[in-house]
């Protein structure tokens, strides 16, 4: 494993494996990338991302990576695969890290981290592309024992928008709760005085089309106390687990 310590990291000084070229149309070819067997300690990244272009046949991949106490001003990933990755502390100076249409196997988020948003779809307006990546992710998760471990993360925000099957997320049941589509659609949760952020989370979950979703009361959210108390009321009523 190659290690980077206490330095600025960019694509130029990080080894990248180029995947097969994939024809998108007569004028445009793409070549997706793989990052693997890398360790970053006390490093800083500037505006990095990991995107998959075209169809999911040759997906960009991050494999066997470890980040410890790193910083970035922003990070986004589209349609990528994260496999055997540990993030132990990641400070984000701007927006949350946004991961859209990505797939995960044995990824651990722990320590002091900024916010993360996990979107199910890769695109806002390309239905065929979303269907293709959703099918690819379903196939991928058929061979995964667990996808994501968030049991010990100390985060400012963690939003799942129907992106990962709840059964594959290792969670802290005192702060992370599973809600099903049937319960979300029933509206029974409304009688327990929901916090505004919860109502938004339910709307985004239902829009995703997924069967279940993990709702997180983020430790460093200014509304953590209200959110966790509300979710425990729902748990006592049998509406979440």
pLDDT value, residue 223: 86
> Phi/psi class of residue 186: alpha, beta or left (left: φ > 0; alpha: ψ in -120 to 50)?
alpha
Nearest of 108, 99, 104 to residue 143 by alpha carbon: 104
Nearest of 181, 105, 179 to residue 142 by alpha carbon: 105
> Sorting pLDDT into bands at 50, 70 and 90, what band is 17?
confident
> Sorting pLDDT into bands at 50, 70 and 90, what band is 16?
confident
Whole-angstrom distance, CA of residue 149 vs CA of residue 169: 6
pTM, 2 dp = 0.92
Of 22-36, 165-179, 197-211, the one with minimum mean pLDDT is 22-36
Nearest of 139, 138, 92, 84 to residue 117 by alpha carbon: 92
> Sorting pLDDT into bands at 50, 70 and 90, what band is 198?
confident
> Sorting pLDDT into bands at 50, 70 and 90, what band is 22?
low
pLDDT value, residue 52: 86
**Long-range own/partner contacts, residues 7-15 (CB < 8 A, 24 or more apart):** 7/43, 7/44, 8/43, 8/44, 8/45, 8/46, 9/40, 9/43, 9/44, 9/45, 9/48, 10/45, 10/46, 10/48, 11/48, 14/38
Please state the rounded mean pLDDT for residues 169-174. Answer: 97
Match 């995964």 to its residue by tokens.
Answer: 144
State the burial class of residue 139 (Cβ atoms within 10 Å of its Cβ: 0-12, 13-18, 19+). exposed
Of 39-43, 92-96, 112-116, 212-216, the one with minimum mean pLDDT is 92-96
pLDDT value, residue 9: 84
pLDDT more than 90, % of the chain = 70
Q: How many CA atoms within 13 Å lie on the side-chain side of 133?
A: 28
Better-predicted residue by pLDDT, 65 or 192: 65
pLDDT value, residue 112: 96
pLDDT value, residue 185: 95
pLDDT more than 70, % of the chain = 95
Residues 99-150 pLDDT 10s:
999 999 999 999 999 999 999 999 888 899 999 999 999 999 999 999 999 9
State the burial class of residue 125 (Cβ atoms within 10 Å of its Cβ: 0-12, 13-18, 19+). exposed
Please give the mean pLDDT across all residues of the chain.
91
Q: 23: how many CB neighbours lie within 10 A of its CB? A: 11
> Sorting pLDDT into bands at 50, 70 and 90, what band is 29?
low
> Sorting pLDDT into bands at 50, 70 and 90, what band is 25?
low
Tokens of 53: 């272009």
Residues 68-103 pLDDT 10s:
999 998 889 999 999 999 999 999 987 899 999 999
C-alpha distance from residue 96 to each of 10, 12, 92, 99, 195 (Å): 19, 24, 7, 10, 21
């Amino acid at each position: 494993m190659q290690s980077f310590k206490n330095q600025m990291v960019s694509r130029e000084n990080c080894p990248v494996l180029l995947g097969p070229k994939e024809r998108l149309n007569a004028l445009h070819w793409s070549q997706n990338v793989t990052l693997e067997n890398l360790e970053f300690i006390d490093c800083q990244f500037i505006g990095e991302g990991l995107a998959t272009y075209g169809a999911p046949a040759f997906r960009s991949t991050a494999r066997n990576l470890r980040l410890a106490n790193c910083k970035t001003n922003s990070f986004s990933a589209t349609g990528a695969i994260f496999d055997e990755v540990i993030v132990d502390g990641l400070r984000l100076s701007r927006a949350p890290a946004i991961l859209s249409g990505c797939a995960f196997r044995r990824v651990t988020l722990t320590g002091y981290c900024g916010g993360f948003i996990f979107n199910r779809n890769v695109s806002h307006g390309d239905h065929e592309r979303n269907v293709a990546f959703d099918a690819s992710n379903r196939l991928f998760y058929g061979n995964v024992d667990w996808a994501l471990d968030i049991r010990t993360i100390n985060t400012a925000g963690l939003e799942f928008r129907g992106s990962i099957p709840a059964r594959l997320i290792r969670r802290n049941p005192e702060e992370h709760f599973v809600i099903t589509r049937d319960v979300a659609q029933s509206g029974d949760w409304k009688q327990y005085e929901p916090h505004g952020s919860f109502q938004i989370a339910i709307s985004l979950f239902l829009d995703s089309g997924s069967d279940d979703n993990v709702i997180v009361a983020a430790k460093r959210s200014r509304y953590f106390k209200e959110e966790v108390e509300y979710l425990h009321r729902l748990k006592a009523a049998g509406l979440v687990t």
